[in-house]
Amino acid sequence: MKNICVIGSGYVGLVTATCFADLGNRVVTVDIDETKIARLEQGIMPIYEPGLEELVERNVKAGRLSFTTSYTEGLDDAEFVFICVGTPSAVDGEADLKYVRAAAETIAQTMDHPLIIINKSTVPVGTGDWVADIVRRKQPAPIEFSVVSCPEFLREGAAITDFMNPDRNVFGSTNPDAAKQVALLYGPLNAPEVITDIRTAEMIKYASNAFLATRISFINEISIICERLGADVTEVARGMGLDKRIGPHFLNAGVGYGGSCFPKDVKALANMALTHGMHPQLLNAVMEINSFQRAQMATKVRELLDGSLEGKTIAVLGIAFKPNTDDIREAPALTVIRNLVNQGATVKTYDPVAMDNARSEISGRVTLCETPYETAIDADALILMTEWNEFKQLDMRRIKNSMRQPVLVDGRNIYDPDLMREFGFVYRGVGRGYNGEGIVNGGTLDAIAEPAGD
C-alpha cells in the first residue's frame, strides 16, 4: 500500500484518486472548493460518471479514500502527489496554467519530506520543468523531490474502465528512477508502459488528442462531400474501417467533437506551434471543419423549413457533448441551440443527465423539458445532438405525430433513414446521400458533369 495525495476532485482527480484507492492504496483527495469537499464527504458526486459513486462509497467505507481542503493533511505521509487540476483555454488558445501554478506553489510551501510530484493534468510541453522550478523557488528550505509527467487518457463516460484497463501508461521525467517508481503504482494494471523524458511524455498526450480530433474532422469533411455527391458516409466509414491500416475508431460522422479535452488541446497545440514560429495548417483545418460542422445543423433545418427559422419551434434532443456524461463544456448542442435562437427560433430541449448543468448556460427562448416526447410536441423540426441509448429506442411514430412538421435532422446518424421516411419524417442525416431520390443538396444527379468523351 502506498500513500497518495491527489490535488483536484474533478473528472481526472476524482477518478484517479478513487481507482488508486480501489487498488489498495491510501488516497487523500485535496480540493480548495469547500462546498465540493463537503458534498463528497456526504457521498454526493460533483460529476456524473457511470460506476463512480459506488466505487467512492466502497473505498471511503474501507478507509482507503478521504477528502480534505487541507494541503497539510493531504501531504502528510504522502509518497506521491498527483496534480489533477483544470487547464482551460486562455484568450489565444494557450492552456491557462494558473491552477497548476497554485498547486505547485502550495505543495512547495507545505511539503516537509521528499515527494514525487506527478503532473496528471494536460499541460503544454515544458510544464514539468516549469513546475520543478516553481517548487525549488517556493520551498522554505530545500527538500528533495522529482517531477513526473503521467498524462491521463480517460474518456468521460468510460473513465473507470479506461483507468483500470488502459491501452498504455506514459511516464516521463528527468529522473528515470522517479518515473519507474510511478510506473510501479500502475503495475497492477498490467498495461504497456512508455517511460521517456518529461517533454516527450507531455507531447504524447497532445499528439494523441490532436490525432483523434483530426480523424473526426476528416470523416466530417468526407460527410460534406458525400452529401454533395449522393454517397452514404456511414458505409464509406465502414468500408474504410475494415482496412487494418485505418481501423474503425473515431470515424463516425456527426456534429463535431466537444468536451473538455479535444477543443482545448487542439487549440493549445496550435498555439504552441505558433509561438515557436511554426504554422499549424492541419490543426487549423481540424478546428475550422469542426466549427463548420456545428453551423451546418441550423443550416439544414432552415433549408428544410422553407429558408427561415423565424417563429419556428425546434426540438433538440441531447445537450451533453457525448453520452454517459453530464459534461456540457464545448458541447456542440449549445452552439446549435444559440445559433437557432439567434435566427429567430424557439428551442425546446432535453437531456437525460445534463439538464442541471444546462440551466446555467441556456437562456432566452429555450425551454428545458422533462421528457423527449414533451420536447417534440408542436415542434417544426427535431435535431438529434447526443446519441444517448434512450434516444435510439424512442417511439418515433409518437414523436412524428406530436410534431407540427415532421422534419428530423439526425446529427449522429443513429436512425435508419428508410425507416424514418416510412414513418413520415422528412429525414436528413450527416453525410447520408439521398440515393433513389435523385437529390444532391438541392440539385439533381443530372447536374453532375459527365466525363468528357473521346
Q: Which residues are catalytic?
A: 261
Closest CA to 427 of 396, 392, 449: 396
C-alpha distance across the termini of the chain, in Å: 79
- Cite the beta strand spans of 122-204 per DSSP E: 145-149, 169-173, 193-196
Helix axes 198-229, 127-138, angle to 10 degrees: 140
Exposure b/e, 268-277, CB count within 10 A at least 16 = b: bbbbbbbeee
Q: What is the DSSP letter of 155?
A: P
Torsion of CA 110, 83, 324, 50, to 10 degrees: -60
Strands 80-83 and 65-68: unpaired
| Residue owning grid cell 435510439 | 392
| Residue owning grid cell 500500500 | 1
| Residue owning grid cell 412538421 | 405
Query: Which amino acid is present at 290?
Result: N
**SS3 at position 317:** strand
The residues that bridge with 454 in the sheet, in sequence order, are none
Q: What is the DSSP letter of 152?
A: -
Q: Give the up-direction half-sphere exposure of residue 173: CA atoms within 13 A in the CB hemisphere.
A: 21
Strands 169-173 and 3-7: unpaired
Pair 332, 253: CB distance under 8 Å: no
Q: Residues with Cβ < 8 Å from 254, sequence gap 6 or more?
A: 216, 220, 293, 411, 412, 413, 430
**In whole angstroms, what is the distance from residue 191 CA to residue 450 CA?**
54
